Amino acid sequence: AQSVTQPDIHITVSEGASLELRCNYSYGATPYLFWYVQSPGQGLQLLLKYFSGDTLVQGIKGFEAEFKRSQSSFNLRKPSVHWSDAAEYFCAVGPYYGGSQGNLIFGKGTKLSVKP
């Protein structure tokens, strides 16, 4: 079955500390992987995506993610968290080619809180 697992429902980190949000996926075909961020009452903003090439991808706002095929993981990282990073983060997987472009499979999200 195709699925995305974000094991951590809620993470709290101190401002300036490093961050890693975990994402594991199960997908039958070559995956197209995404991380989105959602602020309260807002839609989703794409942070970064991976479909091929260098397994370490850089995104906006200083985020990066590393694709590890052997572990079926696509963890999101940031070296130094800012208070404005507090939000909900969603990992998603979709078909690389073809298929319904709307049918991305989303994880349940990880809520990030940032302590001053």
Partner 1 sequence: GAVVSQHPSRVICKSGTSVKIECRSLDFQATTMFWYRQFPKQSLMLMATSNEGSKATYEQGVEKDKFLINHASLTLSTLTVTSAHPEDSSFYICSVPGGGEEKLFFGSGTQLSVL
Give a three-class secondary structure readout of the chain: CCEEECCCCEEEEECCCCEEECCEEECCCCEEEEEEEECCCCCEEEEEEECCCCCEEECHHHCEEEEEHHHCEEEEEECCCCHHHCEEEEEEEEECCCCCCCCCEECCCEEEEEEC
Instruction: Decide if residue 60 touches partner 1 (CB under 8 A).
Output: no
By the rule CB under 8 A, 102 interacts with partner 1 = yes
**x/- binding map, residues 2-41, to partner 1, per CB under 8 A?**
-------x----------------------x-x-x----x
User: Exactly one of 17, 29, 46, 60 binds partner 1 (CB under 8 A); which one?
Assistant: 46
Using CB under 8 A, pick the residue from 28, 70, 100, 116 that binds partner 1.
100
Q: Does 101 bind partner 1 (CB under 8 A)?
A: yes
Please report how close the Cβ of residue 19 comes to partner 1 at its closest, in angstroms: 20
| Interface segment toward partner 1; rule CB under 8 A; list 22-30, 56-64, 71-79, 94-102 | 94-102
Cβ neighbour number for residue 92 with a 10 Å cutoff? 21
Output the CA angle 84-51-79, nearest 5 degrees: 30
Q: Applying CB under 8 A, which residues contact partner 1?
A: 9, 32, 34, 36, 41-46, 49, 51, 90, 94, 100-104, 106-109
